[in-house]
Chain A
Amino acid sequence: MAHALVPVANVADARATAAALVAYAPERTTVVHVVEKGGGVPDKTPVEQSEDVAEAAFAAFRERFPDADTHVAYGSDVVEAIVDAAEEVDATAIAFQPRGGSRLVQFLSGDRALRLVTEADRPVVSLGTGDSGES
């Protein structure tokens, strides 16, 4: 991978993703967090709070990839925002770790893994969840 765009949701996700990504040794990484916007209605979470989450996740990611670039994307659709961000930072691939969670949670939060794989216009690497994947 020449330039991997790595979406992370929070600190735990950032640590796990970074750990899984090490094996692939990308030449360059940009870690991205999507702040979910309401797009016409008030956001479900205060923007600044979401930005704090992003900062913390970036710091956690940089424990393993100190040189990673960071990018905060804003969008009402997380998957779309990731795909747009890949375009914007000119990433050669998107590397992500599918989020665990029960079927109910996946259903309620939308199966983003599947959508990311189908909607992206560049290679998408699904990093294994390993044994420690939450369920």
Chain B
Amino acid sequence: MSEGDEELAKDLGLLSALTIGIGTMIGAGIFVLPGVAAQEAGPIVVASFLVGGVVAMVNAFTVSELGTAMPKAGGGYYYINRSLGPLFGSVAGMGDWMGLAFASAFYCIGFGQYLATLAPVPGLLFLTEIQVGAVVAGVIFVGVNYIGAKETGGIQTVIVLVLLSILSVFAVFGWLSFDWATLVGEGGLAPMGYGAILPGTAVVFVSFLGYAKIATIGEELKNPGRNLPLAIIGSVAIVTVVYAILVTIMLGVVPWPELSPDAPVAQVTEAAFPGGLTGVAVTVVTLAALLATASSANASILASARINFAMGRDGIVTDWLNDIHPSFATPYRSILVTGGLIVVFIAVLGRDLSVLAKAASGLHLVVYTLTNVALIVFRETDAAEYDPDFEVPLYPITPVVGALCSVGLIAFLDPIEIALTAAFVVAAVVWFFLYARRRATFEGELADFVTSRADEMPDSAVSAAGAVAPNGVAAPDGGQYRVMVPLANPEHERALITLASAVAKARGGSVVATHVVTVPDQTSLEAARDRAVDIDATSQGLLDRAREDTETFGVDVETHTVFSHQGFAEVFDAADAFEADLVVMGWGPSAHWSPGRVEGALDDIAGELPCDVLALRDRDFDASRILLPTAGGPDSDLGAEVTRLLAKEFDSEVTLLYVADESEEAQGAEFLAEWADEHDLADAQRRVETGDVERAIESAAADSTLVVLGASEQGLLQRLLGRSVVGDVVEDVDSSVLLAQKRHERSLRERLFG
């Protein structure tokens, strides 16, 4: 995939990104909260908004830095999972998801409040009329996202510009009716004392949550290095100013004790606009309120699907949740589950708007706190691939202040919201230990996770490339065919080198022998390198033998030592760094990259192989009689090619095996003959069997010394054989087994950091 295509996926410019941020935020702060917040703090609530804006701004810097380093779907969750590992990843992902569901429920209630002033909505069962309106709105927003109804380009921009225009007119007329005496009222600016400012901030903080949505769509932004920070910081700055001005005006038109907690803007409009225009003006601002709250809810539902996708990719939630609808091409299950949560939150907690608002804030504040910690961890561990275009000013003060403000603000929530927040955090931790811990695709010994986290390196941010300490001839020359052999166990060194040298010789290429030293997660790679002297003796012995063995084939060789946490994944990073075309690796109980894990890992990396891979289960490697089962498909092409090379080098006797359905032997024989011709294996014996694939392979293998299997997650062979069959064949036969897998066109890693 060329870079040009990648660029096509990025179609959001700065204006779009800004309006997404502003559009998400402005609905809440202006249209929904002023009345409720004013009851909390009096006119000084304007200061509450400003404090909220400052806290949001500090966090906006942090999110901007992380977002430019990793413009990925998922936003805060993604950064935290990379940095702090899957336990905190689970907390952040769940917190972000539930926080968005609470926020959406809150926006829906806001929508319901204005809807109730516009048209009569009946109450139903235990639901108030506002809740009924909110549920209806929630169902509609979910439906719109379910079918992926298309807002044609620019409509978001238009909505936000229209909103800002309406609010400007509102501000002008409001200003004309503004009265300082009304603002100050009888109790002065701070009737509840200045101590009410921060509890007020806790209430209104929900109106600043939108900027983080920009980070969740980072992958879609054009030029994210520039536009992401501008949009995030810019939108926070703009809405803070808008909130401060408009809330001040509203409180100067209607005295704060009388300001409506349900539809404050409509009330102020009624008071401020001159007689004849009142009706029209109230209708217009009410429609604007509906538009604003709908756009906020919509953006939140969309963002939650991003977070679910990112969590599914890392194995923290089941991928079932992220299934794509066959006709609408939307992540419909994720949207439905989120929608269900929204409706439950509206029905159960919707009577008190501020509970929803503060629960949303509480969960988001947990995520923001972790985000700041994540940034500090990235910086302090000097993660190799962490290279943000935008850096927070005054590091480390900014992230430390951001974390402290975020935690601090949680303390100003009421006990019920703190309890809700804590409950979801606990639920996420329980979820992690019951479910995600086994499935999370991240390495890391988690037993000591909490105690050792200060030392923990961000797993996937560590590149083997940065951890390479070359001790041989380096200088990769482009063009030449390069076979990399990761070595760990001296026992299999000769078999792997023999295989690699045979391929390299036939291709006129060279061998890159690499000693992989696994380092416990708790030890930083740097510390390991400092101790390299101890390792060097073993390493040198192993690599010297590899060098000698390679040279018996007359093939050029270079040697390296690689320090690695994860073993497996970093082997592929190293393959990338050394520009290998083929990796020949050991596979089996004694291969150092975790006994029995390689096959699973091969599956895991099926989508991101940077090069072709041959995985050898070595049982006294001998290529004299090779069995090659095939069912066609790209992965058996590689198997065929390797078989041909080996046959040439070792004068092997080759048997091709095809397993046909009952009574289709004739077609099977025909297919196999054709296939053998196509792959220059016409000299090989051909064998067609019927019945159980596994048994057929095993019985044929009895006559051979080496079985070559094509492995492919989705290829035909794999589907025919089934994953378990490959596993069983490997365990049951006595000969060596060579698993061949083609590289994939575009690696996930390239997409991640390319």
Known: A74-B5, A76-B153. A42 touches B751 (CB 8 A): no
A6 to B607, CA, bound (A): 22
| Contact string against A for B residues 215-238, beta-carbon threshold 8 Å, 1 for contact and 0 otherwise | 001011000000000000000000
A82 to B686, CA, bound (A): 43
Question: In this assembly, does B150 line the interface, its C-beta being within 8 Å of a C-beta of chain A?
Answer: yes
Question: In this assembly, does B274 line the interface, its C-beta being within 8 Å of a C-beta of chain A?
Answer: no
| Contact string against A for B residues 64-80, beta-carbon threshold 8 Å, 1 for contact and 0 otherwise | 00000000110000000
Measured CB to CB, the closest approach of chain B to A10, in angstroms, equals 6
| Contact string against A for B residues 17-51, beta-carbon threshold 8 Å, 1 for contact and 0 otherwise | 00010000000000000000000000000000000
Beta-carbon contacts under 8 Å, A24-58 to B: 35-53, 55-56
| Contact string against B for A residues 53-70, beta-carbon threshold 8 Å, 1 for contact and 0 otherwise | 101100110110010001
Known: A47-B219, A49-B73, A108-B328. A41 touches B1 (CB 8 A): no
CB distance B327 to A109 under 8 Å?
yes
Known: A36-B329, A41-B151. A63 touches B309 (CB 8 A): no
CB distance B220 to A50 under 8 Å?
no
Known: A43-B220, A46-B306. A70 touches B326 (CB 8 A): no
Measured CB to CB, the closest approach of chain A to B667, in angstroms, equals 15
Instruction: State the interface size on chain B (CB cutoff 8 A).
Output: 56
B257: chain A residues within 8 A (beta carbon): none
A55: chain B residues within 8 A (beta carbon): 607, 744
Question: In this assembly, does A114 line the interface, its C-beta being within 8 Å of a C-beta of chain B?
Answer: no
Partner of A41, one of B153, B305, B313, B713: B153
A35: chain B residues within 8 A (beta carbon): 9
- Chain B residue nearest to A13 (CB atoms) is B326
CB distance B154 to A40 under 8 Å?
yes
Partner of B633, one of A37, A47, A62: A62
CB distance B327 to A99 under 8 Å?
yes
Known: A49-B324, A63-B716. A42 touches B12 (CB 8 A): yes
B13: chain A residues within 8 A (beta carbon): 40
CB distance A12 to B326 under 8 Å?
yes
Question: In this assembly, does A127 line the interface, its C-beta being within 8 Å of a C-beta of chain B?
Answer: no
Measured CB to CB, the closest approach of chain B to A45, in angstroms, equals 6
Question: In this assembly, does A133 line the interface, its C-beta being within 8 Å of a C-beta of chain B?
Answer: no
A39 to B9, CA, bound (A): 10
Measured CB to CB, the closest approach of chain B to A65, in angstroms, equals 11
CB distance B309 to A40 under 8 Å?
no
Question: In this assembly, does B524 line the interface, its C-beta being within 8 Å of a C-beta of chain A?
Answer: no
- Chain B residue nearest to A44 (CB atoms) is B148
CB distance B305 to A46 under 8 Å?
yes
B744: chain A residues within 8 A (beta carbon): 55
A122 to B228, CA, bound (A): 41
Measured CB to CB, the closest approach of chain B to A32, in angstroms, equals 12
Measured CB to CB, the closest approach of chain A to B117, in angstroms, equals 28
Measured CB to CB, the closest approach of chain A to B659, in angstroms, equals 16
B719: chain A residues within 8 A (beta carbon): 63
Known: A37-B9, A40-B11. A45 touches B716 (CB 8 A): no
Question: In this assembly, does A101 line the interface, its C-beta being within 8 Å of a C-beta of chain B?
Answer: yes
CB distance A10 to B306 under 8 Å?
no
Question: In this assembly, does B722 line the interface, its C-beta being within 8 Å of a C-beta of chain A?
Answer: no
Beta-carbon contacts under 8 Å, B303-347 to A: 303, 305-306, 309-310, 313, 322, 324, 326-331
CB distance A40 to B156 under 8 Å?
yes
- Chain A residue nearest to B151 (CB atoms) is A41
CB distance A40 to B153 under 8 Å?
yes
Partner of B324, one of A10, A39, A59, A60: A10
A59 to B303, CA, bound (A): 29
| Contact string against A for B residues 141-163, beta-carbon threshold 8 Å, 1 for contact and 0 otherwise | 00001011111111111000000
A56: chain B residues within 8 A (beta carbon): 714
| Residue of B326, B633, B715 ringed by the most chain A CB atoms within 10 A | B326
A43: chain B residues within 8 A (beta carbon): 217, 220
Question: In this assembly, does B191 line the interface, its C-beta being within 8 Å of a C-beta of chain A?
Answer: no
Question: In this assembly, does A9 line the interface, its C-beta being within 8 Å of a C-beta of chain B?
Answer: yes
CB distance A10 to B153 under 8 Å?
no
Describe A's contact surface by its main secondary structure.
mixed
Measured CB to CB, the closest approach of chain A to B609, in angstroms, equals 12
Question: In this assembly, does B632 line the interface, its C-beta being within 8 Å of a C-beta of chain A?
Answer: yes
Measured CB to CB, the closest approach of chain A to B452, in angstroms, equals 31
Question: In this assembly, does B302 line the interface, its C-beta being within 8 Å of a C-beta of chain A?
Answer: yes
CB distance B324 to A45 under 8 Å?
yes
| Residue of A12, A47, A66 ringed by the most chain B CB atoms within 10 A | A47
| Contact string against B for A residues 6-18, beta-carbon threshold 8 Å, 1 for contact and 0 otherwise | 0001101100000
Known: A9-B329, A70-B745, A109-B328. A52 touches B607 (CB 8 A): yes
Question: In this assembly, does B655 line the interface, its C-beta being within 8 Å of a C-beta of chain A?
Answer: no
Question: In this assembly, does A105 line the interface, its C-beta being within 8 Å of a C-beta of chain B?
Answer: yes
CB distance A49 to B715 under 8 Å?
no
CB distance B155 to A41 under 8 Å?
yes
A38: chain B residues within 8 A (beta carbon): 11-12, 150-151, 153, 220
Known: A36-B148, A37-B11, A76-B153. A44 touches B302 (CB 8 A): yes
A35 to B712, CA, bound (A): 24
Question: In this assembly, does B509 line the interface, its C-beta being within 8 Å of a C-beta of chain A?
Answer: no
A90 to B270, CA, bound (A): 63
A73 to B5, CA, bound (A): 8
Question: In this assembly, does B299 line the interface, its C-beta being within 8 Å of a C-beta of chain A?
Answer: yes
Question: In this assembly, does A72 line the interface, its C-beta being within 8 Å of a C-beta of chain B?
Answer: yes
B305: chain A residues within 8 A (beta carbon): 45-46
B220: chain A residues within 8 A (beta carbon): 37-38, 42-43, 47
Measured CB to CB, the closest approach of chain B to A61, in angstroms, equals 10
- Chain B residue nearest to A134 (CB atoms) is B326
Question: In this assembly, does B736 line the interface, its C-beta being within 8 Å of a C-beta of chain A?
Answer: no
A56 to B12, CA, bound (A): 26
B150: chain A residues within 8 A (beta carbon): 38, 44, 76
Measured CB to CB, the closest approach of chain B to A13, in angstroms, equals 7
Question: In this assembly, does B16 line the interface, its C-beta being within 8 Å of a C-beta of chain A?
Answer: yes
Known: A53-B324, A109-B327. A59 touches B714 (CB 8 A): yes
- Chain B residue nearest to A78 (CB atoms) is B329
Partner of B157, one of A10, A40, A49, A109: A40
A82 to B248, CA, bound (A): 53
B322: chain A residues within 8 A (beta carbon): 49
CB distance B326 to A49 under 8 Å?
no
Partner of A63, one of B156, B219, B306, B715: B715
Measured CB to CB, the closest approach of chain A to B494, in angstroms, equals 35
A-B residue pairs in contact (CB < 8 Å), sample of 19: A37-B220, A38-B151, A42-B12, A44-B145, A44-B330, A46-B219, A48-B219, A48-B309, A48-B751, A49-B324, A59-B712, A63-B715, A63-B716, A66-B632, A72-B5, A105-B328, A108-B147, A108-B149, A108-B328
Please list the residues of chain B having a beta carbon within 8 angstroms of any beta carbon in chain A: 1, 5, 8-9, 11-13, 16, 20, 72-73, 145, 147-157, 217, 219-220, 299, 302-303, 305-306, 309-310, 313, 322, 324, 326-331, 607, 632-634, 637, 712-716, 719, 744-745, 751
Known: A41-B12, A59-B713. 16 other contacts (CB 8 A): A39-B152, A40-B152, A40-B154, A42-B299, A44-B150, A44-B329, A45-B324, A47-B219, A48-B73, A49-B73, A50-B324, A62-B633, A66-B634, A76-B153, A105-B328, A109-B147
